[in-house]
Amino acid sequence: MAEEKPKIEEKKKQEKMVLSEAKLIRILGKDIPGDKKTLFGLTKLKGISWGFSNAICKKLKINPNRKIEELGEAEIKKITDFIKNPYLPAFMLNRRKDYNLGEDKHIMGADLDLQKEFDIKRLKKIKAYKGIRHMQGQPVRGQRTKSHFRTNRKNKGAVGVVKAKSAKTTAKPAEKK
């Protein structure tokens, strides 16, 4: 019995090592765990939602329940090319009628963050209502602020009820000699 226990523990360790060595698939500069299904794994890429991931699987006729590590090089290349230049209806794209170019496009990764930052700077520059709200650190989309967003105030902290100091606590007791 004592000999069987170490064997069982060794098998568990080996299984953990095999699981930890799960294959990573690189798509557009992002490592995706190979044990994920295609539908869920593609959402790990910044700029790809569940709907966009599902559209990729349907357009390219890839089974969404297949593991990513089971995909071949050709399929990964097809996915990469499709993400770079998607041919989907405009409502599926994340940048419709771009401010500068006026065309519908899909932005991914760091470009998405950069574009969002530029949009906010433009709104601040032209002093649009949304830009002013961004400058003040207030909610932009019309939420109520009477009881929420108190911790969002810059350098002020949360606002709460402060008890007034009573006369007893402010007066110093007489010293005994």
* Per-residue pLDDT reduced to its tens digit, 72-104: 889 889 989 998 888 888 888 888 887 878 788
Classify residue 127 as left (phi > 0), alpha (psi -120 to 50) or beta: left
pTM above 0.85, yes or no: no
pLDDT higher than 90, residue 164? no
Q: Kind of pairing, strands 30-33 and 24-27?
A: antiparallel
Residue 86 has what pLDDT? 87
* pLDDT band, residue 112 (cuts 50/70/90): confident
* pLDDT band, residue 5 (cuts 50/70/90): low
Would you tell me which CATH number, out of the four given (3.10.20.80, 3.40.640.10, 1.10.8.50, 3.30.1780.10), belongs to the domain 19-106? Answer: 1.10.8.50
Going by the DSSP 8-state scheme, the letter that residue 105 receives in this structure is B
Residue 171 has what pLDDT? 59
* Per-residue pLDDT reduced to its tens digit, 21-44: 568 888 887 888 888 888 888 888
Q: Residue 45's closest CA among 87, 111, 108, 116?
A: 108
* pLDDT band, residue 126 (cuts 50/70/90): very high
Residue 18 has what pLDDT? 53
CB 100 within 8 A of CB 106: no
Cβ atoms within 10 A of the Cβ of 59, count? 13
CA angle in degrees (0–180, nearest 5) for 70-71-77: 160
